[in-house]
Amino acid sequence: MTTTPSVPANTQSIDPPAGDASLTLAIRTPLNPWRRLVRNLRYPPTLLGLGLCLIFLVTSVIAPVVAPFPYQKIGAGAPFESPSDKHVFGTDEFGRDVFSRVLYGSQISLRIGLTVSLLAGAIGALVGLVSGYVGGALDEFAMRIADVFQAVPALILAMTIATALGPSIENAILGIAVVRWTAFARLMRAGVLIEKHKEYVEAARAVGVPVPGILWRHILPNSYAASLIQGTLEFGAAILLAAGLSFIGAGAQRPTPEWGAMVSDGRQYVTDAWWIATFPGLAIFGVVIGFNLLGDALRDYLDPRLRHGV
């Protein structure tokens, strides 16, 4: 008794040549983008990451509407009031509602993550795009500068920049962006080195397309995927770094409800009023985990091997 080998769902069969009934060819066909998206959403880590990110984004938008008290209102409750129906996350040492401050803090964290990702991504993509295409001494110089930035711990370098400019959220954002551009530059450079010798780029040069046009219209659209994934991961990393800077006093200043600053304010009361530092810390944890999981899912979705069902 003979059995016919099964063919995967994402393949199409071709009839075997005449006289050879034992030969079956299966050619892989690309999966539909929507099917790939639905398939990626089936995995629990992807759903968890997407859910955490959506909660964070929605919260940052509706914070002024759903917050029961203004974040700076002193005496909204008794100082050090434990979590209750009136104050879901309790109150801090000044009687401010911790739940309201955490909600408003999501707006600050959204601004930090988005600004750092865009600024660092733009700087890194430009450096990697130009240095990878030009090559030679310029490429060597740019990559050695990147090595210098990567040799120093990110938190220390960002703290130095933010402290030199003056402790504030804006200076913390600038310091983090200056520190984190190197990953974007290396990823973009790697993509450019692969693409710049391909036939379509050679053809563009042959017909006289200027270098900016080649970079912008041809190489960049085929090299951005890795940087897009890095931007998603960088979103959570920027929030974490900003919280670290605020924790040590180099970032947001009182009474700004930034999560790292709230953790710093509540650490001295952690034994008696644990909720002051715990809930902002959990918010940081949830956002960072969410964007990391989302970045992993985006990497799987953009992986060219998975487009063909590999």
Say what the pLDDT of residue 9 is. 45
Say what the pLDDT of residue 27 is. 45
Helical spans, DSSP H, in 33-96: 33-41, 44-66
Backbone conformation region of residue 24, classed left if phi is above 0, alpha if psi is from -120 to 50, else beta: beta
Using CA atoms, how far apart are residues 111 and 237, in angstroms rounded to an integer? Answer: 13
Q: For residue 96, what are its two tokens?
A: 């401010």
Using CA atoms, how far apart are residues 180 and 263, in angstroms rounded to an integer? Answer: 24
Say what the pLDDT of residue 34 is. 57
Tell me which long-range contacts 57-66 makes (C-beta under 8 A, separation of at least 24): 57/110, 59/103, 59/106, 60/106, 60/107, 60/109, 60/110, 63/103, 63/104, 63/106, 63/107, 64/104, 66/103
Give me the helix-helix angle, 98-134 and 275-302, nearest 10°. 30
For residue 58, how many other CB atoms are within 10 A of its CB? 12
Q: What is the CATH number of domain 33-307?
A: 1.10.3720.10
Say what the pLDDT of residue 6 is. 46
Using CA atoms, how far apart are residues 176 and 188, in angstroms rounded to an integer? Answer: 19
pLDDT one digit per residue (tens) for the chain, 310 residues: 444 444 444 444 444 455 444 444 444 445 555 566 666 667 888 889 999 999 999 999 999 999 999 999 999 999 999 999 999 999 999 999 999 999 999 999 999 999 999 999 999 999 999 999 998 999 999 999 999 998 988 889 999 999 999 889 999 999 999 999 999 999 999 989 988 888 888 898 888 889 888 888 888 888 888 888 888 889 999 999 999 999 998 988 888 999 999 999 999 999 999 999 999 999 999 999 999 998 888 887 776 555 544 4
Say what the pLDDT of residue 37 is. 60
Backbone conformation region of residue 80, classed left if phi is above 0, alpha if psi is from -120 to 50, else beta: left
Nearest to 234 by CA among 61, 127, 117: 117
Q: For residue 26, what are its two tokens?
A: 């299966």
> Which residues make beta-bridge pairs with 26?
13
Domain spans, the chain: 33-307
Using CA atoms, how far apart are residues 265 and 280, in angstroms rounded to an integer? Answer: 11
pTM for the whole structure: 0.80
